[in-house]
Amino acid sequence: MVIIGIDPHPGSHTAAVLDKNGKVLNHLSIVNDKAGIKSLKKWLKSYEVEACAVEGANNPFARELTCELMKQYKLVNINANLTSQYRRKRTSTKNDEVDAENIARAYLANPDLSTFCVNDNIEQLKALTRTRENLVAQLTAHGLSLRTAEQASVKAALESVISVLKAEIKKLEQAMKKLVKALMPELLELQGVGLVHAATLLAEVGDVRTLKSQHAFAMSAGCAPVQRSSGGQKRYQLNTRGNRKLNKVFHMIVQVRLRLDEATKTYVAKKEQEGKTKRAAFRCLKTYIARQVFKFMLDNTRSHPERWLGT
């Protein structure tokens, strides 16, 4: 069995074939058109493929490629920041072949990443949530500049830009609300899950049925601690991998519940009594909530499969 890593671009796609031990077996570069994708599929027939890992599988220029591969293979989306982690560890060289290799390695190290599926509502939510995130970052930056601005003209310009950003963010949130209601409005009933959190969960997870288990979900979100043991000493540390957008959502949910939910406070107190530090107890809580949310999303998806038919 081999893993195929694919680095897609508007003009071309580069693929790398790795065995289960991470050994590079072959490369192929194709033109990003129907003929090129057809030649890639023909080339893949020479291998027993376990999965195709594509960086940025949701990009518009990769849509034709992903749709074709999904017909025949398990396809997994790899975030660019995950690929860069492996490039930094191995070499300073960067080209399409090296990137394709590291995309495959990212999958080998994270085999529980969810299978990529195309759903128009999910794709729209991804665009909306990520655009909102960018606008909020700009809003924060301009707000900080406004605090230190002294000239009246500068203040007026910043206030004008801030006003526009707030209005556009509000429009994005209204569009997000419609899509969340179409896919899983019940998410908004969970304590600590607001509109933006619900939209991000749906955008980044997609169809939760593609995940193997609640543990796989927690790992894919970087919420499950990883073991770092040596000899007789057993330790668990923060998981810095996984989808950082999801990780941020669960961090915020935990913060809200720690303020408002007595059961959550009791859980943390119990972990501290067991000898865990506050940070370790926080990580345990984040894992617990991630698994709870997975079960909720899975049950809901199975109860309303019709919401996931659109592609």
For the segment 6-62, what is each residue's pLDDT rounded down to a tens digit?
A: 999 999 999 999 999 989 999 999 999 999 999 999 999 999 999 999 998 878 888
Phi, psi for residue 201 in degrees, rounded to 5: -55, -50
pLDDT at residue 311 in the model:
47
Distance CA 25, CA 198 (A): 41
Backbone conformation region of residue 56, classed left if phi is above 0, alpha if psi is from -120 to 50, else beta? left
CA distances from residue 118 to 181, 227, 285 in whole angstroms, order as listed: 19, 34, 32
Phi, psi for residue 161 in degrees, rounded to 5: -65, -40
Q: In DSSP terms, which residues pair with 17 in a beta bridge?
A: 4, 26
If 0-12 CB within 10 Å is exposed, 13-18 middle and 19+ buried, where does residue 252 land? middle
The residue count of the chain comes to: 311
Contact of 219 with 239, CB cutoff 8 Å: yes
Model pLDDT for residues 154-208, shown as the tens digit of each residue: 999 999 999 999 999 999 999 999 999 999 999 999 999 999 999 999 999 888 8
What tokens does 223 get? 């919420």
Q: CA 223, 181, 175 angle in degrees (round to 5)?
A: 95
Contact of 32 with 9, CB cutoff 8 Å: yes
pLDDT at residue 310 in the model:
53
Model pLDDT for residues 238-282, shown as the tens digit of each residue: 666 778 889 899 999 999 998 988 988 888 888 888 888 888 888
Backbone conformation region of residue 232, classed left if phi is above 0, alpha if psi is from -120 to 50, else beta? alpha
Mean pLDDT over residues 285-306, rounded?
A: 91
What tokens does 118 get? 């195309």
Best CA proximity match to 191, nearest among 241, 124, 261 = 261
SS3 197: helix
Is the pLDDT reported for residue 226 higher than 90? no
Contact of 278 with 272, CB cutoff 8 Å: yes
pLDDT at residue 15 in the model:
95
Best CA proximity match to 250, nearest among 205, 211, 310, 207 = 205
pLDDT at residue 92 in the model:
63
- Residues in Cβ contact with 113 at an 8 Å cutoff, skipping those fewer than 6 apart: 76, 77, 78, 107, 220
Contact of 5 with 103, CB cutoff 8 Å: yes
Largest CA distance in the chain: 68
Distance CA 44, CA 62 (A): 17
Distance CA 129, CA 205 (A): 13
Among the residue ranges 30-39, 80-89, 130-139, the one predicted with the least confidence is 80-89
Is the pLDDT reported for residue 151 higher than 50? yes
Average pLDDT, the chain: 87
